[in-house]
Amino acid sequence: MSTAAARAALADMAARTAIAAQLSFVLSDARAEDQPLVWVNDEFCRLTGYAPEEVIGRNCRFLQGVGTDRAMVAQISEDLHAGRTVSVTALNYRRDGTPFWNHMVISPVRDPEGTITHHLGIQTDATDQVLQERARAAELELLQQTSERLDLLAQVADAIAERLELTDAADAVADIATPALATWGFVALVDERDTVRRVHVAVADPQDDATARALEQLDHTWITTCAPQVLQALTADRDDILMPESVDVAAVRAGTAPAQLALLEQLGLGSVLVVPLWARDRVLGVLGFVHSQARGFDARAVITGAHLGRRAGLALDNVRLYRAERQAALALQNRLLPRPTPVPGLDVSASYLPSDRQAEVGGDWFDILTLPDGTVGLTIGDVVGHDMVAAASMGQVSSLLRAQAWTGAEPVEVIRGLGGLLRHTGSVDIATCVYLRWQATPDGARLRYANAGHPPPFLRLPDGTVQRLDAPPTLPVGLDDGTRPATQGDLDVPHGSVLVLYTDGLVERRHRPLREGLRALADALAQAPASGAQEIRDHLLQRLAADRLDDDVCLLVVHCP
């Protein structure tokens, strides 16, 4: 067979293959005006629903429709004109109008001289693939949006949990949520009459912070003018989802003072979304988001805002309730603590510092009493627990110890008697404490003491030496059944000495063991001024309790002049 015959046979085979293939083939004339189709195979007819006589001589744009990407069409034309092969997936339409995704590969066909004479198009129905990819993309986008929303809610929850004041917590909610949802925003807290009593403005761009602070300083009338939805949010049902609305700029201009208007326009007035901050039984306030664009909020922002209002509102309510309980416990504890009165011959100074931790109000106490025989009773203790119960138990334990001390008994007997009374009354309170009896002498004082599981007192002598009062302690009150032998310490205290009693909150930290804390206290006492008890107390607090407190602190300093 000659070479020409072989080429003809191969060409014929290629043509029959294209006709029989399960792929759609078309051939268009690149040299004719409008590049009409000159040949299509049967698969093209099955794919599009068109008969050959309906499409031969026409440009293939008849497959385009209202959903076809016009920019893509223009790019295809540009690439073909430049002689480049095109591979795209476009939305096309069959003869009956049904859409399908058409994956096309269009290649130039050249003659022996390299001139493009035709374009060969291969087409496949990619509808299932495109729909699957879009479904996967939609799922991924939904997961991403859900993850972002949960992350935002977690950030807000963490910020609220770190704050003890309702106003600080509310400000944090607006500061964290605003950059994620809007151009700027605000949180407004209301009283029981739904009257706005405080407003904080948050911004997404730090450069707008000065404007936000200036707007906060003005009266709050701009809130309901800029966002009438505030009143709607305050009266909405718990399950209502409020939708964003365009800001009525004309109403804002008519209803705000010039200074307010200038700041509002500087921040931007487009659309606003307001959500109520739902507590357990009422609305604490509203959270507002303002976008500079008229349609700045999508469905994602609406859903996120609704979740935020509910969860942040409940968390803020927890802060409010905690604050109320903490204030009540502190009031109770402070009411039960003694008010130090002058003791002849002694310079005494005491302090009580509550813990910085949330829900941490404990049973720390101290007491100073002048006994009937003229001696002075000194005590410091700590009831186990950190709540209202511990504070109330502290009052009972301290009162019973005072009653025992009033009998004039030795310190070890006072501690034993306290334990016996608690067992007799059926109390399950457990407390550590130290009781000391101070008796003045010509050379200073005679000191006797007993320790029930409490950190040891410290004594600084006139020469600056610091020693621990290490008489063997008994078990804490409430754990000792009174059958074990108990001892008490007995020592002379010269003039110029300083006695320090304290609770473990002064020396114990999460990151520092008790032993190191005791060493730090001894060092601080050695370096304390030689002046009065108050100056020494302030020095110890500055050195040991200036940072965040993990526990309550009681400190009692006694200076023997």
- Domains in the chain with CATH codes: 3-125 (3.30.450.20), 137-326 (3.30.450.40), 338-559 (3.60.40.10)
105 has pLDDT over 80: yes
Question: pLDDT tens digits, residue range 418-453?
Answer: 888 887 776 657 889 999 999 999 999 999 999 999
Enter the tokens of residue 170. 């509310």
pLDDT, average across residues 7-36: 70
Helix or strand holding residue 154 (H, E): helix 127-161
* Burial environment of residue 348 by CB neighbours within 10 A (0 to 12, 13 to 18, 19 or more): buried
Residue 16 has what pLDDT?
A: 58
Question: pLDDT tens digits, residue range 501-538?
Answer: 999 889 988 777 888 999 999 999 999 988 789 999 99
21 has pLDDT over 60: no
pLDDT, average across residues 216-222: 84
145-149, 274-278, 332-336, 449-453: the lowest-pLDDT one? 332-336
Other C-beta atoms closer than 10 Å to the C-beta of 339 total 7
Residue 137 has what pLDDT?
A: 72
> What is the 3 state secondary structure string of 472-522?
CCECCECCCCCCCCCCCEEEEEECCCEEEEECHHHCCECCECHHHHHHHHH
Block residue for tokens 């370096």: 527
- pTM of the predicted protein model: 0.52
**How far apart (Å, rounded) are the C-alpha atoms in residues 150 and 173?**
14
Enter the tokens of residue 188. 């407004």
Helix or strand holding residue 291 (H, E): strand 283-291
76 has pLDDT over 70: yes
% pLDDT > 90, the chain: 36
Q: Are strands 553-559 and 498-502 parallel, antiparallel or unpaired?
A: antiparallel
What is the edge-to-edge ordering of all strands in the sheet holding 444-452? Answer: 363-370, 376-383, 431-441, 444-452, 489-494
What is the average pLDDT score of the chain?
A: 83
401 has pLDDT over 70: yes
- Give CA 248 to chain center in angstroms: 33
User: For residue 269, what are the contacts with CB-CB under 8 A and spacing of at least 6?
Assistant: 226, 247, 249, 252, 290, 292
% pLDDT > 70, the chain: 86
User: What value, to the nearest 5°, has the Cα angle with vertex 525 and ends 519 and 530?
Assistant: 165
- Given 3-state DSSP classes, what are the helix, strand and coil percentages for the chain, each rounded to the nearest 5? 40, 25, 30
**How far apart (Å, rounded) are the C-alpha atoms in residues 467 and 525?**
10
Report yes or no: 529 and 535 within 8 Å, Cβ to Cβ: yes
Give the pLDDT band (50/70/90) at residue 174: confident
DSSP-assigned beta bridge partners for residue 121: 26, 106
Residue 318 has what pLDDT?
A: 78
381 has pLDDT over 80: yes
Q: DSSP for 102-141? A: EEEEEEEEE-TTS-EEEEEEEEEE-HHHHHHHHHHHHHHH
CA distances from 459 to 373, 446, 519 (A): 24, 13, 13
362 has pLDDT over 80: no
Residue 427 has what pLDDT?
A: 64
| Helices 127-161, 166-181: inter-axial angle, 10-degree rounding | 160
391 has pLDDT over 70: no
15-24, 157-166, 388-397, 477-486: the lowest-pLDDT one? 15-24
**How far apart (Å, rounded) are the C-alpha atoms in residues 322 and 496?**
45
Give the pLDDT band (50/70/90) at residue 328: low
Report yes or no: 346 and 441 within 8 Å, Cβ to Cβ: no
Choose among 79, 141, 69: nearest CA to 102: 69
296 has pLDDT over 80: no
**How far apart (Å, rounded) are the C-alpha atoms in residues 470 and 415?**
16
Give the pLDDT band (50/70/90) at residue 388: low
User: For residue 455, what are the contacts with CB-CB under 8 A and spacing of at least 6?
Assistant: 432, 502, 503, 504, 507, 514, 518
Residue 119 has what pLDDT?
A: 93
CA distances from 114 to 3, 85, 105, 259 (A): 22, 15, 20, 74
Helix or strand holding residue 380 (H, E): strand 376-383
Question: pLDDT tens digits, residue range 232-252?
Answer: 777 777 777 778 888 888 888
User: Residue 334 carries which DSSP code?
Assistant: H
**How far apart (Å, rounded) are the C-alpha atoms in residues 252 and 247?**
8
Report yes or no: 362 and 383 within 8 Å, Cβ to Cβ: yes
pLDDT, average across residues 140-168: 73
DSSP-assigned beta bridge partners for residue 246: 271
Amino acid identity of residue 523, one-letter, is D
**How far apart (Å, rounded) are the C-alpha atoms in residues 6 and 19?**
20
Cα torsion 149, 150, 155, 159: sign = positive
**How far apart (Å, rounded) are the C-alpha atoms in residues 276 and 170?**
12
118 has pLDDT over 80: yes
Other C-beta atoms closer than 10 Å to the C-beta of 511 total 6
pLDDT, average across residues 273-302: 84
Report yes or no: 363 and 383 within 8 Å, Cβ to Cβ: yes
Report yes or no: 185 and 171 within 8 Å, Cβ to Cβ: no
